[in-house]
Structure 1
């Protein structure tokens, strides 16, 4: 098997991270999001903006508790995860973190990269003293919900509706990451 692992992202990874985000969204969300909205967040201008945003996340995060990790296979970036203290008003940002993104390139799916990213994220968050991890998922995203469900995540009863030209519902998932 090729060398695989997870490491902190570097500025040089920003283009790969943005490209993975765009490819994954186009693949995973093509039936979940309105075509026009998906086109706007995955078009050339958006891709360039994502590259800048991920470069900043890798080199100048807002705090030491904001992190961007990449999954690598034979030195190729194949996925990424980003996390930060939770910003939802009903969570204490000292104890709850948010998994902002966890995406694996569709060309490298089902090879354990998502699980490695999730495990590395939880390890870092535990070191930082977090005990709860939350994330938002599209309600109809059965793949993400099944993946996280298999790792012990569950809906917490909170939902929101995004205006993407038409309403798109998200649900919040959570898991306890306190030391077992």
Structure 2
């Protein structure tokens, strides 16, 4: 297997990230998301979202791309959280790995880099939310010693999903 590289994303990557995001999101949520969300959260919608994210002035934000031979195989994003459910912890906003590249350490590597970033901006821990029913992600975060610390309804742009919040107050667990 060719080596996996991880780099910071830039505004020029927005549509490429969006296309990848849609592909993996649709695979992950095909049996969980309502039909209208599945249809509406398309490449155009995600392209606008990623363009806004990558052009924002949020200095706490980091967006990463994992690649093999110039092809995206994973993405991750983190920043300070604005939602009270995260209790001041830094938030992993996105973490997606191509299904054909799972179980190769890409998710762990992205998560470690994002956690390192959140620690560097003095966040007191790391948290993320995962949609109830996303058994592979729930198992992944459990294996990484994530603690289930709450539940909430993500208002989302279209789909109000029920989510489980995982947290790591000892960030070293993720960086290790």
Q: Output the TM-score relative to the length of structure 2.
A: 0.85
Distance 1:48 1:6 in 2: 25
State whether structure 2 residue 80 is matched by structure 1 residue 85: yes
Task: Note the residue ranges of structure 1 that are not aligned, 5 or more in a row.
Answer: none
Task: Give the one of 93, 100, 105 matched to 2:93.
Answer: 100
Distance 1:86 1:164 in 2: 17
Aligned to 1:50: 46
Runs of 4+ in 1 over 4 A off after TM superposition: 90-93, 161-167
Q: Secondary structure at the match of 1:23?
A: helix
Task: Note the residue ranges of structure 2 that are not aligned, 5 or more in a row.
Answer: none
Distance 1:54 1:173 in 2: 24
Q: CA RMSD in A?
A: 2.4
Q: Secondary structure at the match of 2:41?
A: helix
Deviations 1:127-149 (A, max 9, x none): 22222111111111111111111
Distance 2:127 2:50 in 1: 21
Q: Aligned residue pairs: how many?
A: 173
Aligned to 1:74: 69
> Does the 8 Å contact 1:24/1:103 carry over to 2?
yes
Deviations 1:156-179 (A, max 9, x none): 123226589886421212112445
> Does the 8 Å contact 1:126/1:179 carry over to 2?
no
